[in-house]
Structure 1
Amino acid sequence: MEKIIKVSSSLENTVHWRFEGEFLTVNYQSERELKAILAVLSRQGVPVFEPANDFQLPGYENLELSTQNVLSDAIKYGIYFEVLDETEQIVKLTYGEHTEYVKQGNITRFDSALSHALMENKSVTKKILSAAGLSVPSGFECHTIVQALSYFEQLPHAFVVKPKSTNFGLGISIFKEKASRVDYEKAVRIAFEYDETILVETYAHGTEYRFYVQGNDVLAVLERFPANVVGDGSHSVEELVAIKNEDNRRGENHRTPLEKIKLGDIERLTMSLQGIDEKTVLKTGQRVFLRENSNISTGGDSIDRTDDVSDFYKQIAIKVARALDVTITGVDIIIEDLTRESAYFIIEANQNPMMQMHLFPAVGKSRRVTAHLIQLLFPEVF
């Protein structure tokens, strides 16, 4: 199908559209595809459509935000796209005779199922990275609740309890101070809800950063701030969470740059360790962390640090990718001082790292990692 629109400016012609004087002809297969194409054109300065926001792709809001923005960049560079499965987030990209398939934003033919399996298994990841001379936390692997509880007297002063294989910070509890046996058991039971095996590791002091690696480059570095609220002297924690969740950048299931904060078992445990609960009214300016893990997917905030981090740590992240034989990964590193060489611990490597938090950080410069993915897949376009 075609749609002809009168416009006041033009861009280089592509397979999706062509300009003839003041008129633009758009080729499209469906109304939703037309909406997406017009939205991308608008963002490029062609006044044909005003998107509701700058992060979602109209017509494709049901896709994860990373996938939406991969499609946006495909349109921008004249690459035809087809959504093969919305549930599995599988898309087909075509440029001339060249076709690529992408799943969940950045799972491509460049990375093997084996590499993804290695990263998914946190115990195996630690062994591989340790053998490569990289610094990782020490700890125990537990297969039953009884086994995990047997380690209670051996626990370090600060420690982490987490599922062996999980993403998005699910099931993770962090104790920065010595925990009671009751609280430790709660954390163990929460972790076992997500996996049949859990890890109990030494807590690494410092700040956690996410390094987005593609090939031999670190494309973005993000400081992730745990889910939190700041008191105003009148609202309870529960009410402050509801207010913060009204931000249109916060949504669910990775359709927005940030995720809504939820008050679940881990949040309640974290609050109880601070002597508060969801009904507590915080003082003006009082900040309370609702989780200790800093994942964006569990309600955290994001700050771009790409230009601030020392090249030493960028090279560490690249070494992680090489050790795991992976092209695209998100490496989480705890660092004491990101501006110079200092102590660090690699927490994990992610096989399907979130892209949207680099595209739309809460604070700082956007890093268009999706465009780099398109360049990797279709170098002939650039």
Structure 2
Amino acid sequence: MTANNYGNHPLLLLSRSTESANLEGASLSFGLSSRRFSRSMFTAVDDGGKSLSFYGAMSTLTSIVGNRACRDKAIAKSMMRFAGVPTAPALRMPHKGTKSAMRFVELHGWPVVVKPLNGQGGKGVTANITSEEELRLAIKGVDSPMGFLIEKHVGGEDYRFLVAGEEVIGVWRRDAANVMGDGRSSLDELIDSKNEIRGTNPHLATRPIKKDALVLNHLKRSGLTLEYVPSAGEKIYLRSAANLSSGGDNIEITDETHPSLKAIAVRAKQTLPSIELVGVDILLEDYTLPASDQEVNICELNSMPGISAHDFPMYGKPRTAAARYLEILAAGTGVSLKDTRKQSRFLLTSYGQFNENHFADHLASICNRAGVKLLDVEGTPDRYVADLEGEPFAMSAVHALSLAPSARVGRVEGSEVKPEA
């Protein structure tokens, strides 16, 4: 497979908060205005004043209870088991609970998985543990005063189902961090080359493969080091967990995924109270086969999933997941969306405290980098208004970056972008 090339996409200008800017870009393309209060938080407003607010990809329709239940892996597991959703046996372990973990192994057998109770992106997850020594090492890396989670390791490949409302709006298969040998380069060099490819993807650019202790320990278990030179075509895995934030790859497969598997993902999301967007991580054998023909296990639920991973997969056809998510939210709240537009005029109003005319220069520099035309700008010590023209996602990048000028430029309290009528 050949990795997707997204060219000089304006969201690459952001080193963080890509989810927020991606959703804001989709909002602007639907003709909504955007009031931005931080790099992560904005409110989209229609012409009638109805609004939707977002923190990252999480909307105002997600309750604190739903978010908390999803973030605590033990609670989420319990809710799924009560609802009859297929999930591997798991149990919360106490602090320093190695003996308790070994009793779990005696009951369920090897291999097992150890995870932190709270956490995202695969941080601290160790899969396919097959000995007490490996178990002790894994527990040491994730143990907390609240304990940790142990889970029976089950077979299958790792898939992420993105559920918005009652609909699966994206599915991708994830592959743990890996490199492909060329017969000449060491693993150390191949990782650097792979990270260059990831750097061209708006979602993966800030998620490089790290040469950390987990990678080194994984290689050690296979008798390898970073100096190893794989033969041409030899694929070397660098971690056991397949999360994108840990350097994994994602392959878009939504249209080919069997409907019965999508139905299970929706059922898993429905076990959580009052939450509108959930990433459902499922281990299964073949995404084209019905659930009844294979073993299916949900290993995790995520209350702040990466929508951008579906809009910008490393492999496979990119989707418009952010736009579909907004359509679902708008249908449920009465927010009015206009026909999408690829180019528009925008009025940017920034409030705060500005030094002389430096904010105008700051804005001009950002617009130049994002490919947005700065048609006019006027300002006072506490307010700037700029007339801009460009693509909605380029405008969202400009909006996010304009919030963080230097002390020399001034301070921004908040800002608003309005598309032309």
Residue pair 1:250, 1:260 contacting (<8 A) in 2 also: no
Cα shift at 1:57: 6.8
> Is residue 368 from structure 1 mapped to residue 305 from structure 2 by the alignment?
no
Task: Tell me: CA distance 1:55–1:293, structure 2 relative to 1, closer, same or farther (3 Å).
Answer: farther
Does the CA-based 8 Å contact 2:74-2:91 persist in structure 1? no
Structure 1 residue corresponding to 2:8, chosen from 37, 47, 53 = 53
1:381 matched to 2:310: no
1:140 deviates by: 3.4
Matched AA of 1:333: I
Asked whether the 8 Å contact 1:258–1:357 carries over to 2, the reply is: no
Output aligned runs, 1:340-351, within 5 Å.
Answer: 340-341=290-291, 342-351=294-303
Q: Any unmatched runs of 5+ in structure 1?
A: 1-50
The answer on whether the counterparts of 1:224 and 1:294 sit within 8 Å (CA) in structure 2 is: yes
Match for 1:318: what amino acid? V
Distance in 2 (CA, whole Å) between partners of 1:67 and 1:167 is: 17
Evaluate the alpha carbon distance shift between residue 72 and residue 234 of structure 1 in structure 2; reply closer, same or farther with a 3 A threshold: same
Report the AA paired with residue 123 of structure 1: A
1:42 counterpart residue number? none
CA contact (8 A) 1:210 1:332 kept: yes
Q: Which residue of 1 aligns with 2:76?
A: 125
Q: Which residue of 1 aligns with 2:228?
A: 280
Q: TM-score, normalised by structure 2?
A: 0.72
- TM-fit CA distance, 1:203: 0.6
Higher relative contact order (CA 8 A, sep 6+): 2
Which blocks of at least 5 consecutive residues in structure 2 are unaligned? Answer: 1-5, 339-421
Residue 111 (structure 1) aligns with: 62
Indicate if the aligned counterparts of 1:57 and 1:68 stay in contact, CA closer than 8 A: no
User: Shift in Å at residue 365 of structure 1?
Assistant: 1.3
Give CA deviations for 1:244-287 in whole Å, capped at 9, x if unaligned: 11125368xx8646721001121112111111122222222211
Give the aligned partner of residue 147 of structure 2.
197
User: Where does residue 322 of structure 1 map in the other structure?
Assistant: 270
Distance 2:7 2:296 in 1: 42
Distance 1:327 1:66 in 2: 16
CA deviation profile, 1:97-136 (whole Å, cap 9, x unmatched)? 12221101x2112110100000111111111111101111
SS in structure 2 opposite 1:85? coil
Alpha-carbon distance in structure 2 between the residues aligned to 1:125 and 1:292: 22
Q: 1:221 deviation in Å?
A: 0.6
The Cα of 1:82 is off from its aligned counterpart by 2.6
- Asked whether 1:188 is paired with 2:139, we answer yes
Q: AA paired with 1:206?
A: G
Q: 1:185 to 1:343 in 2, by over 3 A?
A: same
Whether 1:85 aligns to 2:46 is no
Q: Is the 8 A contact 2:12 2:200 kept in 1?
A: no
**How far apart, in 1, do the equivalents of 2:278 and 2:100 lie?**
35
- Residues paired across the two proteins, number: 321
Q: Which residue does the alignment assign to 2:404?
A: none
Q: Aligned residue for 1:6?
A: none
Deviations 1:118-157 (A, max 9, x none): 0111111111111101111113322223x22553375222
| Structure 1 contact 359–366 (Cα < 8 Å) conserved | yes
- Cα root mean square deviation, aligned: 2.1
Match of 1:73 among 20, 26, 29: 26
Residue in structure 2 matched with residue 101 of structure 1 by the alignment: 53
What TM-score, normalized to structure 1? 0.79
